[in-house]
Amino acid sequence: MKLFEYQGKELFRNYGIAVPKSVVVQSKEELEKIDMPFPWVLKAQVLVGGRGKAGGVKIASSIEEAKKAFDEIMGMEIKGERVKKILVEEKAEIEKEMYLSFFLDRSSRQYLMMFSPHGGVDIEAMKENVKKIYINPLIGLQSYHLRKLPKETRSIAGRLYRLFIEKDCELAEINPLAISGEAAIALDSKIIVDDNALYRHNELPKENAELTPLEKEAREKGIAFVQLDGNIGVIANGAGLTMATLDALNEFNGRGGVFLDLGGTDDPEKVKQALEIMVKAKPKVILINLFGGITKCDTVARGIMEFMEEHDTPPIVARIKGVNEDIAREMLKDYVIALDSFREVAKKAAELGG
């Protein structure tokens, strides 16, 4: 789960990391109530990068300029994400910008601390200046790790690491980490928390802003469901089979736009819930790729059949293999386009979705 900048900065405050004074607003009237010296920085609150270059960050030297900036930022779209909140913060006097982050490096099975003496919007272009420090998770951050950083950043690095560990983060990033006077200040935050650890953190926001309304509905029902750009809905059982199905569609230029993982469900009612969510996503065609192991094919087929008798659906192409597959095929022969081959079912779905 990604946190908005203002949410990440609230965590920074809790961990003793200095951040500028700030207020989150959703209406222009709220600007009048802000008790903070000018100049202000108005920053669009979105979960994607590149907002500065898109015009989502503006400086105001008066309330009139702030209102004008508010009108320009509120409601704008940045990489497909609409701005609904704006962070208004006191402009810091910046002497130097740096970069600091901790993230989970799965390839090395360690934590990785990254530091650059140069931060800001063009950090990606300065890879040669980035220092990488690997941290054994069984040992943790040590003083010899911190001695590799400039003195003024060591305290913040220690606090950011503690936040990273205690909040089960996949990423905790400050960019830029600014030097202002003798103080180091976090001018931005990027926090990604492991979804699987959210049950341990009631103090974190309950609503995952990244999720679409349908993804939220699916999560409430315990269904793994993801919306992408495309017009083919994929239902399979097991993450591996679901991803393989998307790859097969791609081979035939099919655009998988929604995928739903049934997992090991053996409950026709759960299948009907899954189809209900899938139909709400309005795909042109639904591809069902079922491998019955723990899951019995005939019980899934019963859920499909009962749902289709009660609701209108787009064309459904199905490949059904495994336990009781013959029974399932017989049950669905008048409801779906049943094919035996993985390639055939992907090709047919791609054609219908074209």
SS3 262: coil
What pLDDT was estimated at residue 129?
80
CATH of the domain at 40: 3.30.1490.20
Instruction: For Cα atoms 114, 120, 125, give the angle at the middle one, nearest 5 degrees.
Output: 70
Band (pLDDT 50/70/90 cuts) for residue 207 is low
- 323 pLDDT above the threshold of 90: no
Among 116-120, 198-202, 229-233, 262-266, which range has the highest average pLDDT?
198-202
Residues 251 and 272 in one domain: yes
Residue 296 pLDDT level (bands cut at 50, 70, 90): confident
Domain boundary, last residue among 90, 123, 142: 90
**Which of these, 241, 225, 339, 329, lies nearest to 293 by C-alpha position?**
241
Give the span between the Cα atoms of 41 and 209, in whole angstroms. 23
What are the CA-CA distances from residue 299 to residues 15, 265, 270, 312, 315 (Å)? 51, 9, 10, 21, 20
Residues 112 and 82 in one domain: no
Question: Are residues 339 and 217 located together in one domain of the fold?
Answer: yes
> Per mean pLDDT, which range of 169-178, 211-220, 311-320 is the poorest?
211-220
Domain range for residue 134?
A: 96-200
Q: H or E segment at 275?
A: helix 268-280
- Is residue 125 over pLDDT 70? no
> Which tens digit of pLDDT belongs to each residue from 51-92?
988 899 999 999 999 999 999 999 899 887 889 999 999 999
pLDDT, tens digit, 9 for 90 and up, residues 133-185: 999 999 999 999 999 999 999 999 999 999 999 999 999 999 999 998 878 99
Give a yes or no: residue 5 inside a domain. Answer: no
Domain shared by 25 and 100, yes or no: no
CB 271 within 8 A of CB 295: no
Q: What is the DSSP string of 155-218?
A: HHHHHHHHHHHHTTEEEEEEEEEEEETTEEEE---EEEE-GGGGGG-TTS-SS-TTS-HHHHHH
Task: Tell me how far CA of residue 280 lies from CA of 178, 258, 274, 314, 352, in angstroms.
Answer: 46, 11, 10, 11, 18
Q: What percent of the chain has pLDDT over 70?
A: 95
Q: From 221, 197, 195, 199, select the one nearest 208 (Cα to Cα).
A: 195
Stretch 316-320: mean pLDDT: 92
State residue 215's pLDDT score.
Answer: 82
Structure-token pair, residue 168? 């089960």
- How confident is the model at residue 354, as a pLDDT? 76
Stated pTM of the model: 0.71
Task: State the CATH number of the domain containing residue 280.
Answer: 3.40.50.261
Is residue 234 within 8 A of residue 274, CB to CB? The reply is: no
Instruction: Decide: helix, strand or coil at residue 351.
Output: helix
Q: Give me the count of residues in the chain.
A: 354
In this structure, the answer to whether residues 189 and 78 fall within a common structural domain is: no
Q: How far is CA 17 from CA 153, 154, 265, in A?
A: 11, 11, 46
Same domain for 339 and 217 = yes
Give the 3-state secondary structure of residue 249. Answer: helix
| Cα–Cα distance, 159 to 15 (Å, whole number) | 6
Task: Judge if 228 and 181 occupy the same domain.
Answer: no
Which pair of structure tokens corresponds to residue 221?
């029902």
Instruction: Give, as one character, the DSSP assignment of residue 48.
Output: S
Look-up of token digits 């017009």: 231
Do residues 123 and 245 both lie within one domain? no
Say what the alpha-carbon torsion angle 203, 209, 212, 215 is, to the nearest 10 degrees: -20
The count of structural domains within the chain is: 3
Domain boundary pick from 29, 57, 90:
90
| Span 224-283, pLDDT tens digits | 888 877 889 998 888 788 888 888 898 888 887 788 888 766 688 888 988 999 999 899
One domain for residues 153 and 271: no
Over range 300-321, report the average pLDDT.
92
Mean pLDDT, the chain, rounded, equals: 90
For residue 49, the model assigns a pLDDT of 84
Q: Which residues are catalytic?
A: 99, 173
- Would you call 122 helix, strand, or coil by DSSP? coil
Q: Is residue 263 part of a domain?
A: yes
In a domain, 221, yes or no: yes
Distance CA(307)–CA(58), nearest Å, equals 51
Whether pLDDT at 127 is above 70? no
> Is the same domain home to 81 and 136?
no
The percent of residues above 90 in pLDDT, for the chain, comes to: 60
What pLDDT does 292 receive?
Answer: 80
